[in-house]
Each structure stands twice: as C-alpha cells, then as structure tokens.
C-alpha cells in the first residue's frame, strides 16, 4: 500500500488496519467490538489514534449532519432524487 493512502471503506479485518498503520497509510475502520480488547495489535502502534464510535460527535459534526439531512429533505420535496438513497431500486418503481 502506498504511503498516505486513505482507505475509506469500513474495514473490519485487523490485518488491513495493521498494514495501513505499519506502512503509514491512513485507514478508517471500526473494530467489530468495542472497546477493543487489551493488547489489541492496533493499540500498540504509535501512529494510531483510537476513538470510540462517538469520537465523531462534535458540535460541528452534528451541525453538518443536521444540515445534510435538511438539504436531502428539501431535494426530495422539490422532486429531485436523494443523493444517497438506501434502496435506489425504489426510485424507479411507479407509485401505486
């Protein structure tokens, strides 16, 4: 893996996270269980910062999430398709 690569998929395999940390790539991942067990391989690396899932809950983060949700509601109310539909197949089905 190239140095400083950003891995954006949620990765749950410890091996990928270790590879990213050891090669100075950047990975974003969440372990399958929190808190991680004592002695977890990632916890011992000096270039790894571990935070709980709530690590992203900041005043700025909450405002961005609220704004994005409101913008999506407005898009749909104006007849546009949502940008990130959970079930895009529903967008092409005719109304009953």
Average of per-residue pLDDT across 40-53: 72
Mean pLDDT of the chain: 71
Average pLDDT of span 42-68:
78
> pLDDT, tens digit, for every residue of 1-27?
555 555 544 544 555 566 666 666 555
CA-to-CA distance for 3 and 13, rounded, in angstroms? 19
Classify 26 as helix, strand or coil. strand
3-class DSSP assignment, residue 6: strand
Is 29 a residue whose pLDDT tops 60?
A: no
Does 76 or 94 have the greater pLDDT score?
Answer: 76
- The pTM for the full model equals 0.42
Convert 37-70 to b/e letters by CB count within 10 Å (16 or more is b).
eeeeebeeeeebeeeeeeeeeeeeeeeeeeeeee
């Amino acid at each position: 893996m190239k140095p400083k690569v950003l891995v954006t998929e949620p990765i749950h395999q410890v091996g990928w996270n270790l590879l990213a940390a050891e090669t100075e790539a950047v990975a974003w991942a969440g372990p399958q269980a929190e808190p991680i067990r004592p002695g977890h391989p990632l916890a011992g690396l000096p270039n790894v910062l571990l935070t709980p899932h709530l690590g992203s809950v900041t005043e700025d983060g909450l405002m961005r999430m609220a704004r994005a949700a409101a913008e999506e509601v407005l898009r749909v109310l104006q007849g546009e398709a949502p940008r990130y539909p959970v079930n895009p197949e529903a967008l092409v089905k005719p109304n009953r």
